Structure formats: structure tokens, C-alpha cells
Amino acid sequence: MIREDAWQILCEYTTTDRMRKHALSVEAVMRLAAEKYGGDIETWGIVGLLHDFDYEIYPDLRHPLEGSKILEARGVPEEIVHAIQCHAPFINPEYRCDMDKAILAFDELTGFVTAVALVRPNKSLGEVEPSSVRKKMKDKAFARTVLREDIILGAEKLGADLDDNIRLVVEGLKPVAAEIGLNP
């Protein structure tokens, strides 16, 4: 699968700017994670780009299972469809490889780090430190829809330190900062 095809699928099913920005963010972070973990950068990026493509039509427990059916019908490779399912631990997926674990580790964390940066005076990723992210995670009212337990579970499954994951997200977002409304 090539990125242009994934982008077309995303745009067909995802109409809001907020969700497209999230997709671009997770794509960028997954690309950097692929470099770190020795994965295929394009494949990991496509997983990040498409992981929530169906969320606007299935914003409930049917996501991402119903979306998987759409992707399968379009001939999306099984490893991508499976990895996308892995960002939803409530469906109890089998985590077969680092890509499967990484989408769980970085999906919610990417959204959370973005939220932390957006409340900084300069909206700058350079102002986001692991300690400030951890502090905000304790505030249940801040970015209340972000599933903190998925952030923790993802780090555990990946065998990674949460602070290292936070740093990776910050660095991964810098190339797309302007597109998602942040400063590097």
C-alpha cells in the first residue's frame, strides 16, 4: 500500500480537521518509531495515518472492527489492518510485532502530548518535557477523553520507558508541527 492510497481512504471517511490532524500526528510519530524499532517506515506511517479513519462513522465500540472490514474490502494488507486493530485493547488483539505494540503506545500519547503543547504559551513542542506530561496525566480533567491506561499499557507492551515514549512523540511531531497547529 502506498501513502497516497491511504490518504484517499482517510479523506473519504474523515471529514473533520481535528481528526485529520490527529491522523497526520500519529503517522509522523509512527514513522519515527519505525526508525527506532527497525520497522518499515512507510508501513508504520500508514498504520498511524489510518488507525482512526473510521472513527467519525463508528465513534463507539464498533471502531476499529467495522473499519477493518472496509480496509479488507479495499485490499489493504492484513498486517496493516491487524496493527490498526491493536490500538484498541478493548477488542483484545494479539500483539504480534513491535508495530502492533507501537500503535497502542503512541496513539493516545500523541494526542495527549499535542494537548499539553497547545496549552503552552507559545504552543511549542520544545516546551514539552516528560515531567510536564506526567503531571498533566494526573489531572483527570485535562484532556479527559485521552485514555491514560492505554498510554501506560502501550509502554508496557512495547517494553519502553514512558519518558522515552514522550520524548519520541515530541520529536516525531516536530516535522508536522505547523500542519497540526503547533510550533516546533
- Residue 183 domain flag: no
- Residue 66 domain flag: yes
| CATH number (domain holding residue 14) | 1.10.3210
pLDDT for position 171:
98
Q: What is the pTM of this model?
A: 0.97
- Residue 49 domain flag: yes
- Give the whole-angstrom CA distance, residue 167 versus residue 147: 19
At 123-182, the pLDDT tens digits run: 999 999 999 999 999 999 999 999 999 999 999 999 999 999 999 999 999 999 999 999
pLDDT for position 126:
95
Query: How many structural domains compose the chain?
Result: 1
- Residue 184 domain flag: no
3-class DSSP string for 21-57:
HHHHHHHHHHHHHHHHHCCCHHHHHHHHHHCCCCCCC
**31-36 long-range Cβ contacts below 8 angstroms, 24+ apart:** 31/172, 32/168, 32/171, 32/172, 33/102, 33/105, 33/106, 33/168, 33/172, 34/99, 34/102, 36/168
pLDDT for position 56:
97
* Domain span holding position 140: 3-176
Mean confidence (pLDDT) of the chain: 97
